[in-house]
Structure 1
Amino acid sequence: MDGFQAYGAGKAGGAFDPLTFLRQPQTAIRILCWLFSIVILGCVANEGYINRPEEVEEFCIFNRNHNACNYAVSMATLCFLCSTAFLALDVYFPRISSVKDRKKAVVADIGVSVLWALVWFVGFCFLANQWQVSKQEDNPLDEGADAARAAIVFSFFSVFTWVSQCLLAVYRFKLGADSATFNQEYVDPNQQEALDEAPPTEE
């Protein structure tokens, strides 16, 4: 990656180095986003519902509001899938030869990171509010209380991890925009040689 850089990665065609990949800040933060979503999903899905003997259906630990539990489970699942997809994109990113395609990937990273930061901010406020107004008589034994608090805390942490991911993506975008080595029409040299050797097409 030395010398030639475009949006935070060198020219396409190099071998994948797992250690270099894991040492990148965006990789570490992406893994944190991934782990936090698993924690939130596990806490709410496993201990977010209580089944009282006198009631037929179980109810959500967050003020009996099923919307709160459904929001947490749905967003954590989607966040897990999204983080996995972007981790895969990070692995593939150095192999993208077109600067335009790299730019699209980085812009998508910025947009998705902003979206998830907002989603988890709303989720944190929603879960914290519903937990605060929950009635003691609904759960006198405090079943799942630790899991509920953990879901709230990790929702709060998720806001900062996604904001950090957005800032790193913005930094990568600025690196690409200010690059003197690459221009927006750059293509991988191997592809350019193939194009040069190809016979001309008749019009």
Structure 2
Amino acid sequence: MDGVGSFGAGRAGAAFDPIAFVQQPTTIIRILAWIFSIVVFGSIVNEGYVNHGSERLYCVYNKNNSACNFGVTVGLVAFLGCLLFCAVDMKFQQISSIKDRKKAVMVEIGFSGFWTFMWFVSFCFLANQWSRTTPDELPLNQGADAARAAIAFSFFSIFTWAGLTVRAVQKFLLGTDMSLFTTEHLDGNATVQPFPTTTTTEADNTDTYQSPPFTENLDSTAPYQVPIY
């Protein structure tokens, strides 16, 4: 993984290293996913609509505007998601609470896994509608290259987002090394009061010796008697 300690990152508060961050496999995959999303929704927005025989614009995918809208939506949300999680990755080292780190990783797992499925649906939907598009609907093959590009990069996006999901799961399974964090970090920045320490003074350890009281007083004035043999 990218690091050790807590969910793939080291001790909280460590300095951010931009070179090491860019070289991380997760960052590389996320950049690819970001580029692919731009290609998908950019191709559909720029050349995905034609006005064959009328002033109204039709989607190049079998004149099904739902196909174009779905592709644009999936690509745009993926674009924004890449930016969001890239920012989280940059700030992840500064998150001092282990609970907050765990929540961030779990959200990434859920979103990446769900968007892998959405890219699969987008690829199937666009490919199906493109296969039903007749040459008569696209004079001079208008918008064909953009349509094929959106389908191809939707397919590529399945693998990039699946890779991000796997990386997030690995980061979650890595867990945390409790020795790197204090109780304050474990409790979510809660102030922990130390246990009171008891100190023993010299007066507590030294007891004044007192002779036990005699129950009977010996008569020191009694005359000495010679024993009889």
Superposition TM-score tier, normalisation by shorter sequence: 0.7 to 0.9
Q: Does 1:71 align with 2:81?
A: no
Instruction: State the number of aligned residues.
Output: 191
Normalized against structure 1, the TM-score is what?
0.87
**Cα deviation digits, residues 62-90 of structure 1 (max 9, x gap):** 00000000101111111111111111001
Letter in 2 for 1:117: T
Structure 1 residues 11 and 94: CA distance shift in structure 2, 3 A = same
**Cα deviation digits, residues 135-159 of structure 1 (max 9, x gap):** 1111131111111111001000111
Q: Partner of 1:151 in structure 2? A: 150
Q: Partner of 2:136 in structure 1? A: 137
Letter in 2 for 1:64: K
Q: CA deviation at 1:184?
A: 10
Q: CA deviation at 1:46?
A: 0.3
Letter in 2 for 1:163: A
Identity %: 48
Q: CA deviation at 1:196?
A: 5.5
Q: Partner of 1:201 in structure 2? A: none
Q: What are the equivalent positions in structure 2 for 1:115-194 lying under 5 Å apart? A: 115-176=114-175, 179=177, 181=179, 187=185
Letter in 2 for 1:65: N
Structure 1 residues 184 and 174: CA distance shift in structure 2, 3 A = farther
Tell me if structure 1 keeps the 8 A contact 2:105–2:171: yes
Structure 1 residues 136 and 94: CA distance shift in structure 2, 3 A = same
Letter in 2 for 1:17: D
Structure 1 residues 3 and 149: CA distance shift in structure 2, 3 A = closer
Letter in 2 for 1:145: A
Q: Where does structure 1 lack aligned partners over 5 or more consecutive residues?
A: 198-203
Tell me if structure 1 keeps the 8 A contact 2:11–2:181: no
Q: What are the equivalent positions in structure 2 for 1:20-39 lying under 5 Å apart? A: 20-39=20-39
Across the aligned residues of Structure 1 and Structure 2, the Cα RMSD in angstroms comes to 2.3
Instruction: Provide the rounded CA distance (Å) in 1 between the counterparts of 2:74 and 2:27.
Output: 21
Letter in 2 for 1:124: F
**Cα deviation digits, residues 149-193 of structure 1 (max 9, x gap):** 11001000111101100000111111116x4635795618xx68x
Instruction: Provide the rounded CA distance (Å) in 2 between the counterparts of 1:181 and 1:4.
Output: 12
**Cα deviation digits, residues 40-60 of structure 1 (max 9, x gap):** 1111000100122x3120100
Instruction: Provide the rounded CA distance (Å) in 2 between the counterparts of 1:160 and 1:184.
Output: 38
Q: Partner of 2:223 in structure 1? A: none
Letter in 1 for 2:150: A
Farther-moved stretch of structure 1 (97-106 vs 179-188): 179-188
Instruction: Provide the rounded CA distance (Å) in 2 between the counterparts of 1:153 and 1:32.
Output: 14
Q: Partner of 1:48 in structure 2? A: 48
Q: Does 1:99 align with 2:71?
A: no
Letter in 2 for 1:48: G
Farther-moved stretch of structure 1 (147-156 vs 72-81): 72-81
Letter in 1 for 2:130: W
Structure 1 residues 167 and 186: CA distance shift in structure 2, 3 A = farther
Structure 1 residues 4 and 87: CA distance shift in structure 2, 3 A = closer
Q: Where does structure 2 lack aligned partners over 5 or more consecutive residues?
A: 195-229
Tell me if structure 2 keeps the 8 A contact 1:100–1:185: no
